[in-house]
Amino acid sequence: MIKIFIVDDHEIIREGLKKILKEESDLVVIGEAQSGDEVLENIKNIDCDIMLLDMNMPGRSGMELVSDIKGLRPYMHILVLSIHPEDKFALRTLKAGASGYLCKDTALDELVIAIRKVYTKGRYLSTTLAEQLAFDYMPDKNQLPHELLSNREQEIMLMLVSGKKVKDIAAELKLSISTVFTYRVRIFEKLKIKSNVELTHYAISNKLVE
């Protein structure tokens, strides 16, 4: 049996995933959590083959959470479920330690296939993602500014775009306000912008948000 642990802050999503997985004879859900902080607090007691992890939750989330989990449980497979398109964030997630990435728009069709692939092969890559990975290290003169951001900068950029204030981001990520301001300055410099309004316009123009 493939043991699965679900992490998502929406109960309806968790219940939907459990319903889908229950129909498969070789899959069993052994537990669930509604936040990244809850996972990290109990990671030593989580005994699963694959963790289904939502990337967009209050508190600890994103690539940093993947890195934290892998640091504590290096052999645990993490299959990421995200609202963000595969071509925007999947490669960064894999580099952070995830074993696969599924956009929630297509996850229901591919989920069971991806779980079995990760369990047997260690990694799940869609055809599109495999092509991206193959050319990842080739020089790209047309590389977009946001692709130069670090994982943490990407995370804070999306939080700023969502309308969150610096003090709220600091509290959520357990960082000092001055540290978040420093990240904000770096983001603005790399994107060559000067305000949150310009940041939002940039994110929408480059389809980084819905």
Domain boundaries, the chain: 2-134, 145-205
CATH number of 2-134: 3.40.50.2300
Answer whether residue 80 shows pLDDT above 90.
yes
pLDDT band at 43 (very low <50, low <70, confident <90, very high): very high
pLDDT, averaged across the chain: 86
Q: 2-134 and 145-205 share one CATH topology? A: no
Q: pLDDT tens across 93-141, in order?
A: 888 889 999 887 766 668 999 999 999 988 887 766 676 666 554 445 5
What DSSP character marks residue 74?
A: T
Answer whether residue 88 shows pLDDT above 90.
no
In contact, 99 and 123? CB cutoff 8 Å: yes
Query: Domain 145-205's class?
Result: mainly alpha
State the Cα–Cα distance between residues 47 and 113, nearest whole angstrom: 21
pLDDT band at 58 (very low <50, low <70, confident <90, very high): confident
